[in-house]
Structure 1
Amino acid sequence: MEQLFLPLLLMLVVAIPLVMGTRKQKRAAQEQQKLQGSLSEGDRVMTTSGLYGTVADTSSDTTIDIEIAPGVVTTWLRQAVREKVAPEVADETGADDAEDVNDAAVVEPVETTGPAQAEEKPGPQIAPPLEHEKK
């Protein structure tokens, strides 16, 4: 009996993590299939490559059309959809802000004379590349 105890214990130590890992994978696969089956037009999704978009067409069993920008619709495999995300929420104040933004976009030029003219602000600045640890 004592001769079988050590090999049996060793098998249990190896088998339990394998079984638990397999169960976790099966559960994740079932959740992914459930997600892909529940997609409908208008859902906001993120693809496996990190692209956000809105589902435009779900008529095919294997592909899905995603609108990534206004008027830009691309076709993806259903498996490429990673998750549903919360829809974009508009500001609480509503349409009044849209008018304020349009008014703010109109900027009148300011005339300056003298040394202030020479100090024009440069365009967007580009950050230098990151330097990784040098060997």
Structure 2
Amino acid sequence: MQLLSIFLMTPDPSGKSSSTGTLVMMGGMIAVFYFFMIRPQAKKAKQQKAFINNLQKGDKIVTIAGIHGKVNKVNDDNTLEMEVSPGSYIKIERSAISMEWTTNINKPAVEAKK
């Protein structure tokens, strides 16, 4: 009955104070949020930053808008020049590059199973 009282945030019917139980539940909820939401998001942001900083001339990339091309020039102002077709270049922000789509197009093709 005490666990139900904690979830409903109602006083314990026996008249005892259950502040310790409430604190433990709140601490547990904070731990769950940290390990399942905050930590993975921070890890992914760190990977994205490392991926963007390691781009070099000649890398095949895909933007978040779905534009495919190759890096032609890396600029110092957080932009890069992307070749979308031979002789056609566009200037894009580094943050506009999709890490997931870029890694998918750069994966080696899986051989057909016989």
TM-score range, shorter chain: 0.5 to 0.7
| Residue matched to 1:63 | 79
- For residue 45 of structure 2, the aligned residue among 26, 29, 41 is 29
- For residue 17 of structure 1, the aligned residue among 27, 32, 44 is 32
Displacement of 1:2 in angstroms is: 6.8
| Residue matched to 2:106 | 86
Give the TM-score taking structure 2 as reference length: 0.67
Q: Percent identity?
A: 22
Contact residue 56 and residue 67 of structure 1 kept, 8 A: yes
Q: How does 1:1-135 map to 2 (within 5 A)?
A: 3-20=18-35, 21-83=37-99, 84=102, 85-86=105-106
Displacement of 1:71 in angstroms is: 1.2
Contact residue 44 and residue 87 of structure 1 kept, 8 A: no
How far apart are the structure 1 equivalents of 2:80 and 2:17?
A: 60
Counterpart residue type for residue 7 of structure 1: T
Q: Which has the larger radius of gyration?
A: 1
How far apart are the structure 2 equivalents of 1:58 and 1:6?
A: 56
- Higher helix fraction (1 or 2): 2
How far apart are the structure 2 equivalents of 1:86 and 1:12?
A: 43
Q: In structure 2, list runs of 5 or more residues that go unmatched.
A: 1-15, 110-114
> SS of 1:33's equivalent?
helix
Aligned length: 89
> SS of 1:11's equivalent?
helix
Deviation larger for 24-33 or 79-88: 79-88
> SS of 2:18's equivalent?
helix
How far apart are the structure 2 equivalents of 1:28 and 1:88?
A: 23
> SS of 2:65's equivalent?
coil
